[in-house]
Structure 1
Amino acid sequence: MKITIERAALLRSLGHVQSVVERRNTIPILSNVLLRAENGELSLTATDMDLEIVESVPADIARPGAATAPAHTLYDIARKLPDGSQVELDATGDLLTLRSGRSQFKLGTLPVDDYPQMAQGDLPHRFQLSAADLKMLVDRTKFAISTEETRYYLNGIYIHAAKPKAGTTDPAVLRAVATDGHRLARVEMALPDGAASIPGVIIPRKTVLEVRKLLDEAADRIEVQLSDTKVRFAFDSITLTSKLIDGTFPDYERVIPSGNDKALEVDPKLFAAAVDRVATISTEKSRAVKLSLDRNVLTLSANSPEAGSATEELEVSYNASPLEIGFNSRYLLDITGQIEGDGARFMMADPGSPTVVRDVADGSALYVLMPMRV
């Protein structure tokens, strides 16, 4: 294989694929990126056996062929080359030679035949959605994904087609849900054509984060293909294929309370800033902040044996009976950070029951937050 490629094009593609490669690998070939040159294009492939990304980029091919090279090293070299430079890649035997201007690097390669390929399999369900819609589904739910390995079925975002409740005329929607047991995020959008019969699937956290990185540069339409075990996202010249989490997502509807009758409305930005200030005093472990509610006044407070205490008052809209309830301040900030409008509505029942949080101006997202003792 011998090719010449613009440094900017190589760097951009390497930046996309190398982040899939784990820094530490027990299988040496998984540290490498597969480079394949043919038909005027260089194709770059990286995998960790659960997730595979393939990207094609135009290149001047002097000799078609394929090679594997250390992904992070290749990326670091490309990053440090001067802007506007041309890069020549020449693979012969077990060496890849990279030349650019007066710089030359020789990198060890591993056999192309040893490079693992994800089994293709049939992905029968296909639909398209805009990059903006996919971004919205990911951004508003990813903060609630659990990182607890023992509850592996919560280590991702659950995507499914939600049918309307019996007896209503509501349309079916595409819904994304994530929870870690302490908070839950549920976001929905109009059901795309072709998505009505998709299975409910759990997309792993790493896949979610990799797709999200790519979306900032993506063209408008994203094609999603699904089976019971795999998902594929295709856009521009990039294809990302991932295994799904093999588990059953809990019945999240059961934890969304419907009888909460105490309504608090706040400006989310003012509220978040006040929570952040008061939480400076809370202990690092619990991060607890107490909300004391009386008619149209909210008092935020935090106490710590080491640091002292803090209180702050806010004018709010609240007309129910007085209530004191505690929350993890970081969880409060995560949720209010998703609310783009001027009003956040908290629906509460009592100090021990889950609270529902919504954006007053946008009904597509709903958040549930478990209280804590303070």
Structure 2
Amino acid sequence: MKATIERANLLKGLSHVQSVVERRNTIPILSNVLIEAREGGSLRLMATDLDLQIDETVPAAIDQPGATTVSAHTLFDIARKLPEGAQVELHAAEGKLKITAGRYSSSLPTLPRDDFPVIAEGDLPTTFELPAETLKQIIDATRFAISTEETRYYLNGIFLHVSDDDQPVLKAAATDGHRLARVTVARPDGAEAMPDVIVPRKCVAELRKLLDEVDGSVGVSLSGSKIRFDLGQAILTSKLIDGTFPDYTRVIPTGNDKLLKIDPRSFMQGVDRVSTIATEKTRAVKMALDRDRITLSVTSPENGAAAEEVPGEYAAQGFEIGFNSRYLLDILAQIEGDMVEVHLADASAPTLIRESESSPALYVLMPMRV
């Protein structure tokens, strides 16, 4: 195999694929990136961790078609340190990959292309397209609520399912048991018979990075066990989480009759300031609601106390409720408008947070004792 590629193209492709590769691998080939020089002027780069795979095509001048595999992180580090505008020559022969750029040259050990594992997609019967912006919106509004608790593995991703509400919709939800985030968008054509799927956290993170470079639509193909995102030059394939997502609709409150309307920015800044002294373990902030007056306070045995009054519209009966400040800040950070609705019931019931009744995203936050 022999190919010449511009450093910028090589670096861009490698930056995408190498992030799938785990730093510690018991199987040596999984530390490698597959490099395939194809006739017609393209270089294919592929990496996998057996659950997730990125396959990217970048333009290159091909002198000799062929394929090899080489350490992904080492090659990425070399490309990163080469001078801008450099023409990089890659030449694989006799178990080595020779890299030449200007006066620089290095030689890396390779492993055979035939040993490189590829995720077998099988049949992906459901196929539809989603605008890249919609996919970004879905991910940004939900991924902070994905659980990191490995024992509840079925919560370690974003749950996608279709539903017939007033009109056909696609819903995305994530929860860690303390908070829930859900986004509703119009159901794309082709998603009618889509199975309920849970997209793993690592796939969500890689997809979000790739979406920054996509302008148009993203092709989505899936079965009950695999999902593939076609992003133009890059194709991301992932196994899905094999588990049942809980019926999250049961925790979305419908009868919360106490309504607080508040500017999310001033609310967020107030929570952030008073929580500075909260203990790392509980991060508890108390919210005392009175007519059009909201007082945020934190009392910490080690660090003292802090309080701040924030303006808001509240006409119901006054009471006090506690929240984990980090969870509250995560939710408020997603609100783009200049008003947020906080629907409350009492100090122990789940609280519903949303911009308005018509906004695509809604959040549920469990209170805590303070």
TM-score, normalised with respect to structure 1: 0.98
State the one-letter code of the partner of 1:82.
P
Match of 2:62 in 1: 61
What residue in structure 2 maps to residue 92 of structure 1? Answer: 93
Sequence identity percentage? 62
SS at match of 2:9: helix
Question: How far is 1:27 from its partner?
Answer: 0.4
1:277 counterpart residue number = 273
Structure 2 equivalent of residue 131 of structure 1: 132
**Once the 2 structures are TM-superposed, how far is the Cα of residue 58 of structure 1 from its aligned partner?**
1.2
Task: Tell me by how many angstroms 1:362 deviates.
Answer: 5.0
Give the C-alpha shift of residue 360 in structure 1.
2.8
1: CA distance between counterparts of 2:147 and 2:237?
A: 22
Contact 1:160 1:198 in 2 (8 A): yes
Aligned equivalent of 1:316? 312
Alpha-carbon offset, residue 83 of structure 1:
0.5
Per-residue CA shift, 1:7-48, capped at 9, x if unaligned? 000000000100000001010000000001112211001000
Q: Are positions 1:368 and 2:369 aligned together?
A: no
- Cα distance in structure 1, aligned partners of 2:350 and 2:232: 42
In the alignment, what sits opposite 2:242?
A: 246
3-state secondary structure, aligned to 1:254? helix
Task: Find the residue that maps to 2:106 and give its secondary structure.
Answer: strand
The separation in 1 between residues aligned to 2:235 and 2:358, in whole angstroms, is 32
Matched-pair contact (CA < 8 Å) for 2:18–2:72: yes
Alpha-carbon separation, structure 1, partners of 2:68 and 2:154: 37
Is 1:219–1:235's contact at 8 Å kept on the other side of the alignment? no
Q: CA deviation at 1:366?
A: 0.7
Residues in 1 aligned to 2:357 and 2:271: alpha-carbon distance in whole angstroms: 22
Matched residues in 1 for 2:107 and 2:53: separation?
26
Change (3 A) 1:337 1:361: farther
Letter of the structure 2 residue corresponding to residue 148 of structure 1: E
Q: Please state how far the C-alpha of 1:208 moved relative to its aligned partner.
A: 0.3
Paired residue for 2:24? 24
1:219 positional shift: 2.9
The aligned counterpart of 1:111 is 112
What SS does structure 2 have at the residue aligned with 1:279?
A: helix
CA distance in 2, matches of 1:264, 1:338: 18
Q: SS at the partner of 1:136?
A: helix
Query: 2:2 aligns to what?
Result: 2
> What residue in structure 2 maps to residue 49 of structure 1?
50
The runs of 4+ residues in structure 1 deviating greater than 2 Å are none
Which residue does the alignment assign to 1:203?
Answer: 199
- CA distances 1:278-318 after superposition (whole Å, capped 9, x unpaired): 00111111000000000000000001111100000012100
* Alpha-carbon contact 1:219-1:236 (below 8 Å) kept: no
Contact 2:344 2:350 in 1 (8 A): yes
Letter aligned with residue 240 of structure 2: L
Task: Name the CA distance, whole Å, in 1 between partners of 2:18 and 2:353.
Answer: 38
* CA deviation string 1:240-278 (max 9, x = no partner): 100000000000001111111000111000000000000
Correspondent of 1:345 among 341, 344, 359 = 341
Structure 1 position 256 matched with structure 2 position 252: yes
Residue identity matched to 2:234 = I
User: What one-letter code is carried by the residue in structure 2 that aligns with 1:158?
Assistant: F
Give the number of aligned pairs: 369
Q: Distance in 2 between matches of 1:328 and 1:120?
A: 41
Q: Report if the CA contact (8 A) 2:34-2:45 is conserved.
A: yes
Bigger mean CA deviation after superposition, 107-116 or 289-298? 107-116
- Code of the residue aligned with 2:84 in structure 1: it is D
**Deviation at 1:162?**
1.5
Distance 1:22 1:335 in 2: 30
Letter in 2 for 1:118: I
The equivalent of 2:35 in structure 1 is: 35
CA separation in 2, counterparts of 1:97 and 1:241? 30
1:184 aligns with 2:193: no
- Contact 1:341–1:360 (CA under 8 A) maintained in structure 2: no
| Uncovered stretches (5+) of structure 1, i.e. residues with no partner | 165-169
Judged with a 3 Å threshold, the aligned counterparts in structure 2 of structure 1 residues 289 and 245 are, in CA distance, closer, same or farther, namely same
CA distance in 1, matches of 2:321, 2:306: 16
Q: CA deviation at 1:196?
A: 1.5
Offset at 1:120?
2.6
| Offset of residue 361 of structure 1 | 7.7
Partner residue, 1:102: 103
**One-letter code of the match for 2:228?**
R
Other structure's SS at 2:249 match: helix
Aligned residue for 1:310, secondary structure, equals strand
**Which amino acid is 2:317 matched to?**
S
Gaps of 5+ in 2: none
**Distance in structure 2 (CA, Å) of the matches to 1:32 and 1:160:** 35
Q: Residues 273 and 362 of structure 1: is their aligned pair in 2 closer, same or farther, counting only changes over 3 Å?
A: farther
* Secondary structure of 2:338 counterpart: coil
| Residue in structure 2 matched with residue 161 of structure 1 by the alignment | 162
- One-letter amino acid of the counterpart of residue 230, structure 1: K
Three-state SS of the structure 2 residue aligned to 1:19 is helix
Distance 1:361 1:371 in 2: 22
